[in-house]
Amino acid sequence: MLKPAAAIAGQVVLYGAFAAFIGYFATDPVYRQIPDDVAVLKVSFSHLGDRECRKRTPEELAKLPPNMRAPLDCPRERSDINFELDIDGQTVVKHVLHPTGLYKDGISTMYRRLEIPAGTHTFTARMQDNLKLEGWRFVKEETVELKPAQAMVIDFHPDKGGLFFQ
């Protein structure tokens, strides 16, 4: 062990180094998540795919126990969901979402994070939640000016008219 004075000086230096190490790496170096001129687009939704239900005939209903006479006969499985997103006319997301659950009866979900240059862009989102049907059931197109570091969300909610930009 060093002489007391030298040991105390050494301890001050080492405690100081510890403080400097903790103090510096507790906040630095600054982490840059995205470049200056970039905005972020989050495409995300959680939606139950459609299913083809059949109306039961009065005869069929009569054969069922009274407590089980549901007018519609619906399969358990949900349809896959098709989704596409164009930015300035170019397709950047093209995705088929599968229903969750062992019996394919759960929601279909999606979360995608895209970095795009800030500025004005035209977004076209298309979604079809019943693949037995042709075309797109939900389409939303909008031109948006995105500021740097702005976060824009493309979501889906039936109460908000289907696809919406936020």
Partner 1 sequence: MTFEAHCRRLVRAPFQRCEEAFDRVFGGRHNPLRHLGALGLFFLWIIVGSGLYLYIVLDTGVDQVYSSIGQITEEEWYFGGILRSLHRYASDGFMLAMGLHLVREFAYGRYTGFRFYSWITGVPLIWLAFVSGIGGYWIVWDQLAQFSAVATTELLDWLPIFSEPAARNFLAPDSINDRFFTLLVFIHLGVPILLLAALWAHVHRIAHVDHLPSGRLMRGTAATLLVLALIKPALSDAPANLATVPAETRLDWFILFIHPLTDLSSPAVVWTALFGLTALLCALPFLGRRQPAPVAVVDPANCNGCTRCQVDCPYAAITMASHPTRPGYQVAVVDEALCASCGICAGSCPSSTPFRSQERLITGIDMPQLPVDALRAELEAKVAALAGEARVVVFGCAHGARAEALAAPDTAVVTLMCAGMLPPSFVEYALRTGAHGVMVASCRHGGCEYRLGERWTLERLSRQREPQLRGRIPAERLAAVFVSANDDPALAAALDDFKDRLRRLPAAGEPLQPYLRRTAHHA
Binding-site member from 51, 77, 92, 100 for partner 1 (CB under 8 A): 100
Q: How far apart are CA 31 and CA 57, in angstroms?
A: 65
Binding-site member from 75, 117, 119, 148 for partner 1 (CB under 8 A): 148
Name the one range near partner 1 by CB under 8 A: 5-13, 55-63, 69-77, 121-129. 5-13
Name the one range near partner 1 by CB under 8 A: 26-34, 55-63, 77-85, 120-128. 26-34
* Residue window 29-58: x/- pattern of binding to partner 1, with contact defined by CB under 8 A: xxxxxxxx-xxx-x-x-x------------
By beta-carbon proximity to partner 1, the closer residue of 62 and 153 is 153
- Residues paired with 54 in a beta bridge: 73
At 140, is the secondary structure helix, strand, or coil?
Answer: strand
Which among 153, 160, 105, 106 is positioned nearest to 138, based on CA atoms?
160
Q: How far apart are CA 72 and CA 69, in angstroms?
A: 9
By beta-carbon proximity to partner 1, the closer residue of 56 and 112 is 112
Q: How far apart are CA 124 and CA 152, in angstroms?
A: 14
